[in-house]
Structure 1
């Protein structure tokens, strides 16, 4: 009897648990049914306008002019007149070299020049005398006069050749002086007094000096393909450098490559930067701010309205109380707004914050326009 009573109690407890379980499933099913409707949410109105933004691209300041100065002839450094950091003027003497063989060549060329000059003077004088004498009939035969003229012309040619050889050696001697080709600053010096120098690859692997301009710099930036349409001649841009925080500099676009780099897929853009105060230095890395201002008005939506999935990029449009997916292409972003291109028009109503849970044709509950009371 006792066992039967215990069996009855256990059966009653099991039945109660089953009834409780069945009762709790009803609200859960109701919730699943209600979840097919998008609850009250905020919506926005698609508007048309011009979206202005900026893009930051790293650039580099380069000297407007730069040259590596090598010795033009093989020689030894005799005297250096400048060092790293020296500001020089155009034509200023930077260094002198010594080449004993050039002095010997100059002496030999000068001797040959004087010798051929004397021979030419003598042959010319002889021809002039014969020509004057020939004016008296029967004194000088025409053949002798022609021979004298040929001798004069031959000596004149040899004299001219000796003069050219002499001038060549003189020019080589002038090469023993290194002068600044333009006004600038010496940024590198790779030789000392007594060093053997020569043309690049024929005595010197490194240049004697590197000369750069500082009062005018060249700002170089490679603009990605997506932004090339916003950069034009004379466009004004601003830039900053890390060494001068808080200071902003401006420049105007001076040169456009007009083609994309095959590897970077970017266009080289150059700007001239005046640097009279010499705050900026060649080689500085800059952060360039390029304004991206649209020429024509476009459709603008909240950035949160765009849904990116593996299948599509879309916006959830509210039409007749239901969700409608509209595929779009994204443009530029500025703050919390984004340009879009697709089957939309100004005045359309869209979900301000959309997710991929808002399926196609799903009913939408109460809505309110962002920043306004409920409809």
Structure 2
């Protein structure tokens, strides 16, 4: 009889301890609050970009021509010099007499390859005056890209790791012999320290997703069998499955039950479970 009573006491004690542990675990789970950062979901368009490459050219170039061939008697400028309009560049001695060669426009001297004492021709420019205050980019695009471009479009451009904006000046309506269409654009910034001939990477908007929810790509969690986000509702994380329509490196267009204006978790989501209590430490726009 004593053994039976001891057994019953042991069972009750074990049951009581188990209940206490279960209650304690439940309390800790309810008390656990995860700190998160959020951003406001926005409805809009997602533009995809395709990179093409072009060459930097001066805004304009004016050839310096010699009227009559002759001997280059003196040079008053060299490559890289900035000259004003009508400034003296050189003197030529020819059978017709002495010629004074002047700059027809203000700008920088380039392609001056002759030296004093040499015979210069009137068939090729003695030099070129280039306008480097404004710089242009010439590049070629496919027929599909050509349809996406319009005059005055502002295109994101990268040159030697620096970012610029280029405004489209002209778009050829007829393809060249390779089937490509030539586009000319002008860099918006002035007084650029960029060498003519430098390579420019121009980003062409190629594909657009319209009227979708746009989120930072980092907010989306992908597993082997589902794709989801967490939306904050009454200080709790609500798990929502979504479908990806298009994605860029930093932004993704999705569809699902998430709505414009919802606060979506961008940091801390990897440790969350549906229904977890959260503390929003940083919201969009802060």
Structure 2 length as normaliser, TM-score?
Answer: 0.55
Q: Distance in 2 between matches of 1:208 and 1:275?
A: 30
Give deviations 1:133-153, integer Å, cap 9, x for gaps.
Answer: xxxxxxxxxxxxxxxxxxxxx
Show the 5 A alignment for 1:31-110: 50-99=45-94, 101-103=95-97
Larger mean Cα displacement after TM superposition, 268-277 or 219-228 = 268-277
Question: Which residue does the alignment assign to 1:127?
Answer: none
Q: Distance in 2 between matches of 1:221 and 1:207?
A: 26
| Structure 1: stretches of 5+ with no match in the other structure | 1-48, 104-172, 201-205, 299-331, 340-345, 348-372
Show the 5 A alignment for 1:348-367: none
**Alpha carbons 1:70, 1:209 under 8 Å: kept:** yes
Structure 1 length as normaliser, TM-score?
Answer: 0.43
Candidates 105, 128, 150, aligned match of 1:182: 105
For the pair 1:261 / 2:198, whether they are aligned, the reply is: no
Higher-strand-fraction structure: 2
Distance 1:227 1:334, change over 3 A: farther
Give deviations 1:319-341, integer Å, cap 9, x for gaps.
Answer: xxxxxxxxxxxxx96449999xx
Greater radius of gyration (CA): 1
Candidates 234, 237, 240, aligned match of 2:158: 240
Q: Distance in 2 between matches of 1:225 and 1:259?
A: 10
For the pair 1:219 / 2:137, whether they are aligned, the reply is: yes
Distance 1:278 1:297, change over 3 A: closer
Q: Distance in 2 between matches of 1:195 and 1:233?
A: 46
Q: Distance in 2 between matches of 1:285 and 1:217?
A: 12
> 1:292: how far off?
3.2
Question: Which residue does the alignment assign to 1:280?
Answer: 194
Q: Distance in 1 between matches of 2:246 and 2:122?
A: 55
**Alpha carbons 2:155, 2:202 under 8 Å: kept:** yes
Distance 1:294 1:222, change over 3 A: same
Question: Which residue does the alignment assign to 2:185?
Answer: 271
> 1:208: how far off?
2.2
Q: Distance in 1 between matches of 2:148 and 2:142?
A: 11
**Alpha carbons 1:215, 1:274 under 8 Å: kept:** no
Q: Distance in 2 between matches of 1:250 and 1:239?
A: 6
Give deviations 1:76-108, integer Å, cap 9, x for gaps.
Answer: 112110011110111111001122x325xxxxx
> 1:257: how far off?
1.2
**Alpha carbons 1:214, 1:275 under 8 Å: kept:** no
Deviation >3 Å, runs of 4+: 292-298, 332-339
Distance 1:66 1:262, change over 3 A: same
Residue 234 of structure 1 aligns to a residue whose secondary structure is coil
Show the 5 A alignment for 1:271-350: 271-292=185-206, 294=208, 334-335=247-248
> 1:280: how far off?
1.7
**Alpha carbons 1:190, 1:207 under 8 Å: kept:** no
> 1:72: how far off?
1.5
Higher-helix-fraction structure: 1
**Alpha carbons 1:52, 1:334 under 8 Å: kept:** no
Residue 174 of structure 2 aligns to a residue whose secondary structure is strand
**Alpha carbons 2:114, 2:126 under 8 Å: kept:** yes
| Structure 2: stretches of 5+ with no match in the other structure | 1-43, 213-244, 257-273, 275-286
> 1:211: how far off?
2.1
Distance 1:275 1:184, change over 3 A: farther
> 1:68: how far off?
3.5
- Equivalenced residue count is 181
